[in-house]
Structure 1
Amino acid sequence: MTARSARGVAAPWRILAAVLVAAASSTLVAATPEPTPTPTPTIDPIQLAEYWLDGGHVREAWETTRGEGVTIAIIDTGIAQGPAAFEGAVVGGTDVSGLGSPDGRTPVGPVDADHGSLVASLAAARPAADGTGMIGVAPKANLLSVSLGFGASAPVPFVQQVAEAIVWAVDNGADIINLSFTTNTLDWDKSWDDAFLYAYEHDVVIIAAAGNRGSGTASVGAPATIPGVLTVGGVDQHGIASRAASTQGITIGVMAPSESLLGITPDGDLIRWPGTSGAAPIIAGVAALVRAAHPELDAANVINRIIRTARPSDQATQNPDPLYGYGLFDAAAAVKDDVAPVDANPMGDLAEWVRVHRRGAAEPAPVPSAAPVTLPPLPAADPPAAEGSPLIPGADSLLYGTLPLIALTVPGILIALGVTAAARRIRSARAPRTPRS
């Protein structure tokens, strides 16, 4: 374990209390050494309020990369056109719901239309030209906007939307796919098997939110239960598993903040919001930093670096832990530390799961080990007998049927007649005679 990963995990998140005080004013004044005065640095209060940047050592990771050249697909309600934070970041998009615009930039949904923009801002929001304003974890990464329609309002079935969205994202250059939604069920539609396998075969990292107890998710549900997905649970500002803004389960891989998050709405407003829907794109941003710093790594090793460099929680009882997974993310460690490579995705093998649980394709027929045996041809069949009347006996029926029957029947009749005559004579001899008068 490195010195960085051996640090306490709760303290970095407690900086939020000081951040909120600092955010009350426009500047935070640093101590000025004496006797030589130095200019007072101006620190943007919005970025100070993003406590996960310091708590997760994101700023330290920025010394190496900010996610250049990596593309994150946000499969959600759509990333809005208006906010300046997305200008130059969104490089493509589509709509799979039948409700949005072809470029995926029109937010869809009667209730959560702002959800996709909030998610995207945590992953890769770009600050203003002067460096102020909200900044994403990977502020130089590219974004793809894929708009989904949640609920019954969409004309396309939801499971079909998700499958089509994943395939589109892969085909359009996604290195990372973020899924900040849950179905609240452990199982998933079979059509997702092929879609997720397609992403894995094309070396794409898929990240999913664990879900929130506060919104009715009692346990981790699909897509966070699909093997190979990096599932993200949520913690509060002190690094403690969130009671309302997260859920727990054995598929959780890593933890990120899910309370008092910031996000940019389609109108460009900055709001606070909770949930693992925000924790997931934080990790998507970390994955972008890792992929930018280590372009030689495949998806399995990107995930492996994130979970192996996570800092185990003081509250965890095992590793991985059902509440905390492998621990709280550490972006700098994921980018900079030496991590042994792996040959397989540490979050599971979907292809093997499909083979076992879907009963897959039938096993191939065994190849014969010996040459086939050649049998001699059968003798030719006897020619058919000449046609005749069925009422006139033929030679075979006379020889084998009629004559033997006569030979057995006639003697039997004669014997029976003789026995009958003898019996009558015996009865006549025994009968008493009546004397004559």
Structure 2
Amino acid sequence: MSMRFRRSLSASLAAFLAGGALVGSLATAPAAMADSWRDKEHWLKESGITNAWQVSKGAGVKVAIIDSGVDGNHPDLKGVVTGGADASKAGAPNGQKSIGAKPEHGTLVATMLAGRGHTTTTASPSASPSAAPTTPPAGGPDGIVGVAPEAELLSVSTWLGSPNPGGKTDQEQIPDAVRWAVDNGAKVINISLGSTSPDWPQSWDAAFLYAEQKDVVIVAAAGNRVGGNVQVGAPATIPGVLTVAGLDGDGKASVDSSSQGISIGVAAPAEDLVGGIPGGGYAEWAGTSGAAPIVSGVAALIRSKWPEMSAAQVINRIVSTAKDAGAPGKDPLYGYGILDAEAALKGTVPTTSTNPLGSIGDWIRVHRRGDLSAPTQAPVESPTSAPPTLADPTVPVAQAPATVDDALPAAVVLGFGALFIAIIAGAAIQLRRAYKNPPATPEEADTGVMEAVDPPTKRS
């Protein structure tokens, strides 16, 4: 039985599932029909993944999925989920209970990343009706095969997108989940979750720095316009995180199932996706939530092929072999370009010690002025009990007041200025007084007594 549905994910300040509108058929399809789902995995060929399998299938690499929980009993995930935890206080201790606003979300992501498929078994005509059913072996030609089908998964369940009955907020769940994943051997962490804000809580700084210092690749979904994200939201905006944008069926930037931003590193298919859901069914869906595990799977293939390769080199290999699209060079729609798994596994890429997408450590140093001392932390059983691994960022210290010597030049300038003003004011007062009381007109200077001269006498 199947049902069609379209659901918009919660776009709260806390967080939302980056899957955007999940468009699909939730199907509990009979096992005999499961092989039709394999045929719908168009990205395996389009993104060069089937050719990349000639080099690696992800063996020996643990990938943590921080999401709504993963159903490890799905036929395509038999033996894949080897560990897990719950960061919400509302899920199962092993992270395999599907929780949150989108409980099926984590299993969809998991099957696309590391599904192994399964073999469909049919009852023999001669078999006794009372005979116990045969358990299908792990792996096979039917169902969903992931990008890294030989990788192991760690499921860290979180409750996001609606009020958490466990009481923990995303500000607590996300950093606890990241720390647990790092301490339990994850070499790649997939976060197909996000928010509508580019900013992230300061409480996340230490956990993402911890992952960076422990050499872990973190891949995050960019978010979707249809889910309210025109611009990329956190944690996909955190420096050093490999942010994945979405492509439509024509290999162009998806209008609905992607967003844009300067933090985007690479683009991968995000429309007409398929994956497994809890209970053994399958669904068609869309969003960068599905594009992210494709890229995380490629990161696992690389880390399996070159175990000694640093996280910065893994990310650089993925983005530098991507096919340029959109505006020349890095742009806010495609990042460095469209994912090319075959080139990432077979191409020659110069060695680098710098993550092309930045460093959370450098960002904290500039913006938080935090203490970046190397963290030390023993493995913990549950992410909910993980102690802080780094000192909280310190508040900048206020500068001491200026000394007398430092203030002398300013005092001299102010003194001369005051004197000049006093002179001008005094002159003005004098002029005003002179105007009101003008002096008497002065007498001309005395030139002496003029002698009287008799008129001349007439001569007779």
TM-score, with length taken from structure 1: 0.71
Which residue of 2 is the match for residue 212 of structure 1?
224
Which residue of 2 is the match for residue 257 of structure 1?
269
In the alignment, structure 1 residue 87 sits paired with structure 2 residue 108: no
State whether residues 109 and 289 of structure 2, in contact with CA within 8 Å, keep that contact through their aligned partners in structure 1: yes
Which residue of 2 is the match for residue 140 of structure 1?
150
Q: Percent identity?
A: 49
2:255 is aligned with what amino acid?
A: R
State whether residues 81 and 106 of structure 1, in contact with CA within 8 Å, keep that contact through their aligned partners in structure 2: no
Matches of 2:81 and 2:40 in 1, distance apart?
Answer: 24
1:308-362: CA deviation from partner (whole Å, max 9, x where unpaired) = 000112xx11310111111110111101111001111111011111111113358
> Aligned to 1:127, what secondary structure does the other structure show?
strand
Return the structure number with greater relative CO, CA threshold 8 A, min gap 6.
2
> Aligned to 2:118, what secondary structure does the other structure show?
coil
Which residue of 1 is the match for residue 98 of structure 2?
107
Matches of 2:190 and 2:395 in 1, distance apart?
Answer: 34
Which residue of 2 is the match for residue 46 of structure 1?
37
Which residue of 1 is the match for residue 192 of structure 2?
180
Which residue of 2 is the match for residue 153 of structure 1?
164
Q: Where does structure 2 lack aligned partners over 5 or more consecutive residues?
A: 1-31, 120-139, 371-393, 398-460
State whether residues 190 and 292 of structure 2, in contact with CA within 8 Å, keep that contact through their aligned partners in structure 1: yes
Matches of 2:159 and 2:182 in 1, distance apart?
Answer: 20
Deviation, 1:132, is: 2.1
Which residue of 1 is the match for residue 108 of structure 2?
118
Deviation, 1:144, is: 0.3
Which residue of 1 is the match for residue 183 of structure 2?
171
Matches of 1:328 and 1:48 in 2, distance apart?
Answer: 22
Aligned pairs for 1:35-434 within 5 A: 44-109=35-100, 111-129=101-119, 130-150=140-160, 151-154=162-165, 155-313=167-325, 316-360=326-370, 361=394
1:253 is aligned with what amino acid?
A: G
Matches of 1:217 and 1:342 in 2, distance apart?
Answer: 33
- Count of aligned pairs: 321
State whether residues 137 and 285 of structure 1, in contact with CA within 8 Å, keep that contact through their aligned partners in structure 2: yes
Matches of 2:396 and 2:170 in 1, distance apart?
Answer: 33
Matches of 1:340 and 1:229 in 2, distance apart?
Answer: 20
> Aligned to 2:182, what secondary structure does the other structure show?
helix
> Aligned to 1:133, what secondary structure does the other structure show?
strand
Which residue of 1 is the match for residue 123 of structure 2?
none
Deviation, 1:295, is: 1.2
Q: Which has the higher strand share?
A: 2
Q: What is the Cα-based RMSD across aligned positions, in Å?
A: 1.7
> Aligned to 2:291, what secondary structure does the other structure show?
helix
Matches of 2:183 and 2:99 in 1, distance apart?
Answer: 23
1:337 is aligned with what amino acid?
A: G
Matches of 2:395 and 2:281 in 1, distance apart?
Answer: 55
> Aligned to 2:54, what secondary structure does the other structure show?
coil
2:199 is aligned with what amino acid?
A: D
Matches of 2:227 and 2:40 in 1, distance apart?
Answer: 25
Deviation, 1:84, is: 1.3
Question: Which aligned segments of 4 or more residues in structure 1 are displaced greater than 4 angstroms?
Answer: 361-364
State whether residues 318 and 344 of structure 2, in contact with CA within 8 Å, keep that contact through their aligned partners in structure 1: yes
Which residue of 1 is the match for residue 415 of structure 2?
none
State whether residues 123 and 139 of structure 1, in contact with CA within 8 Å, keep that contact through their aligned partners in structure 2: yes
Matches of 2:50 and 2:110 in 1, distance apart?
Answer: 19
Matches of 2:366 and 2:329 in 1, distance apart?
Answer: 26
